[in-house]
Chain A
Amino acid sequence: QQPVQSPQAVILREGEDAVINCSSSKALYSVHWYRQKHGEAPVFLMILLKGGEQKGHEKISASFNEKKQQSSLYLTASQLSYSGTYFCGTAGYNNNDMRFGAGTRLTVKP
């Protein structure tokens, strides 16, 4: 089952902050975050693993609440380059069957 992302879209001014949420109805072992610009392939941002290990960017952070089966992506002091569609992907333990959310379209304006 696909994870649910919110909001579906958000518009920011440069320098503003944003939070993107991802929730799942099944137990999670890991959450992946990717960004995709129009007409391009998705690009890896971050992985959060059960137990708290986090791998990814310095300027973009994320949290993983295992009990609530939720993850949030935090973009602070947004830049124009942050514009794109953000996807979360979720997988259970030893489960290579990754499911992605429908995406959150982020637009950063000058």
Chain B
Amino acid sequence: NAGVTQTPKFQVLKTGQSMTLQCAQDMNHEYMSWYRQDPGMGLRLIHYSVGAGITDQGEVPNGYNVSRSTTEDFPLRLLSAAPSQTSVYFCASSYLGDNEQFFGPGTRLTVL
């Protein structure tokens, strides 16, 4: 099992550009989530999904879109990147929301 994979590992964007962070898991987990991690702020939930076709907002959803067309994939879209979105982004999955979460290796995003 590859577990949770994320691409790319590093990305530099200019303000206003759009991009999609990819996340995939091969553990047949229903629950998937996206977090951003900033120094001193811990992990903050952006969006989550409890199954294919179902998504919901977390603590800091503004500026981000998600979709869940399959159980395996949960991409995060930045519509118009801003410097405030410079962060490390982690994708996670679990059997259910209230179980051990498996985190991907992260994507370090810099917006200039």
Whether A98 lies near B97 (C-beta < 8 A) is: yes
Give residues 50-97 of B contacting A (CB, 8 Å). 50, 56, 58-59, 90, 97
One of A37-45, A59-67, A75-83 at the interface: A37-45
Closest partner residue, chain A, to B90 (CB atom): A41
Give chain A nearest CB distance to B94 CB in angstroms. Answer: 9
Interface size class of B (residues with CB under 8 A): 20 to 34
Task: List chain A residues, Cβ under 8 A from B103.
Answer: 41-43
**Bound-complex Cα distance A30 to B103 (A):** 19
**Bound-complex Cα distance A44 to B4 (A):** 14
Give chain A nearest CB distance to B22 CB in angstroms. Answer: 16
Whether B31 lies near A96 (C-beta < 8 A) is: yes
Closest partner residue, chain B, to A47 (CB atom): B100
Give chain A nearest CB distance to B93 CB in angstroms. Answer: 12
B99: contacting residue among A34, A42, A47, A97, CB under 8 A: A47
B41: contacting residue among A43, A55, A102, CB under 8 A: A102
Give chain A nearest CB distance to B29 CB in angstroms. Answer: 13
Closest partner residue, chain A, to B108 (CB atom): A39
Interface size class of A (residues with CB under 8 A): 20 to 34
Task: List chain B residues, Cβ under 8 A from A43.
Answer: 103
Whether B104 lies near A96 (C-beta < 8 A) is: no
Whether A41 lies near B105 (C-beta < 8 A) is: yes
Give chain B nearest CB distance to A97 CB in angstroms. Answer: 6
The verdict on B112 contacting chain A, using a C-beta distance below 8 Å, is: no
| 8 pairs, A vs B, C-beta closer than 8 Å | A32-B100, A41-B90, A91-B97, A96-B98, A98-B33, A100-B42, A100-B43, A102-B41
